[in-house]
Amino acid sequence: MLNLDHFLSINVFAYFGKFKRSWCKTVAAEIDYSEIAFTLALSDSISESLSSVLAQPKLHKAGQQVFPNFQELFVLMTESSDKYVIHCADSVRLTSPVKNHLSAFQINVDTLNNIQPFLQKIDDSNFLFCPVFNENQDAMAYLVIAFKGHIKDQIQVDFYTSSLTRAIQRGLQAYQKRHADLKRAINNERRSQAADLHDSIAQVLSYLKLRSSSLKAYLYETDNVADDTMLKFANEIDNQVGFAHRLIRELITTSRLSFLQTDLADAIQNSMQEFEQLSGVVFDLDNRANDALKKLPYQSEILFIIRESLCNLVRHSHASHARIVITQQSQNLQILIEDNGIGIQPESKRPDSFGLCIMEERARKMDAELIVENRKQGGTRVQLSIPREH
């Protein structure tokens, strides 16, 4: 017997296929959806790639034929349950009325969790939201089409939006998987390097530290203390080995933290708690840019600078209180570390101290600005300004 449901489904798909072939001859055949997915999958900057994809004339030409008074294409990338970033073609100016409408519109979180496309009217413009899913079938983005008037041919709209949404979805899923694999590989490499440093160089330096301290003590205890040159060399060796040993231990700790933490904010919080437990300094953390921290490159470099600053603070500042303030500026993200200690004493700086030089070198690597200075109220201020990606 013929299954009626199966028969009807065959006829529906046959009709849709016939329409699809007919419409593809005009506009849709000119759009290379696989190229869109490929471009996004291999992207290094998803913002630039989405801008390039959304600027394709063929997409706009097809949109103008499908939607009445077609205006613009957007992609909303969700950052959290209530935040999103608007991506659009570079030709869409910041002063675009349509973009301003979308920016000012507060989308309901429950609506964003909708698995079906939905339509919203903002002033005189209509915005069609089409969800883009990740591998867990959660909406990670939304394709948004802005237009005016009423949709006349729903089949054409469905075909246009579903084809473009699927292409963006395939591209973003592949992009996320590639970057997750890359992050996992980097973390594995860091774990391996930390283990190698601990099992080899750190142990050798520990031995040299013990021997150099013994040598210095021996010279003080014997009658040969008149040989000032020998004693000077012994002190220099002991100081340099001590610094190298502390530096390698700090590198191991930073490396471990960087792959054990879920994000940089957690690593900073744990570092602050660690130094607080090792000292009598009371720390306070004021983090006003948690989301922006997650997007910063060079996170290991940032963490090293912060930990080196905290280490110097605990060892040299004689402070009772200190704080870390993280704020988001228009062009950069600023990390401020300051204390109420004795401040910087230039005349007491040891010639074998390279911590600040290494911090400055790491800041240059990030194109960041590092300022270390005395506070007017007393104590020391370390200010790191890191350029934000736009």
**What is the C-alpha end-to-end distance of the chain, expressed in Å?**
62
CATH topology of domain 31-177: Beta-Lactamase (3.30.450)
> 97-111 burial, b if ≥16 CB within 10 A, otherwise e?
ebbebbeeeebeeee
pLDDT at 7 over 70: no
Summary mean pLDDT of the chain = 78
The predicted pLDDT at position 94 comes to 61
Global confidence as pTM? 0.50
Most confident of 63-77, 99-113, 348-362, 366-380: 366-380
Q: How far apart are CA 33 and CA 170, in angstroms?
A: 10
pLDDT at 40 over 80: yes
Alpha-carbon Rg for the chain in angstroms: 30
Q: Do 31-177 and 262-390 show the same overall fold? A: no
Domain ranges of the chain: 31-177, 200-260, 262-390
> pLDDT tens digits, residue range 291-330?
888 778 888 789 889 988 998 898 889 999 999 999 988 7
pLDDT at 222 over 50: yes
pLDDT band at 226 (very low <50, low <70, confident <90, very high): low
Listed residue (341, 344, 309) closest to 324, CA to CA: 309
Q: Locate 67 and state its tokens.
A: 């939607």
Q: How far apart are CA 60 and CA 275, in angstroms?
A: 56
The widest CA-to-CA distance across the chain, in whole angstroms, is 112
* 262-390: in CATH 3.40.50.300: no
> pLDDT tens digits, residue range 192-221?
665 665 556 666 777 777 777 777 777 777
> pLDDT tens digits, residue range 245-262?
666 766 666 655 554 455
Higher-pLDDT residue of 69 and 239 is 69
> pLDDT tens digits, residue range 339-361?
999 998 765 555 545 678 778 88
Listed residue (291, 223, 299) closest to 268, CA to CA: 299
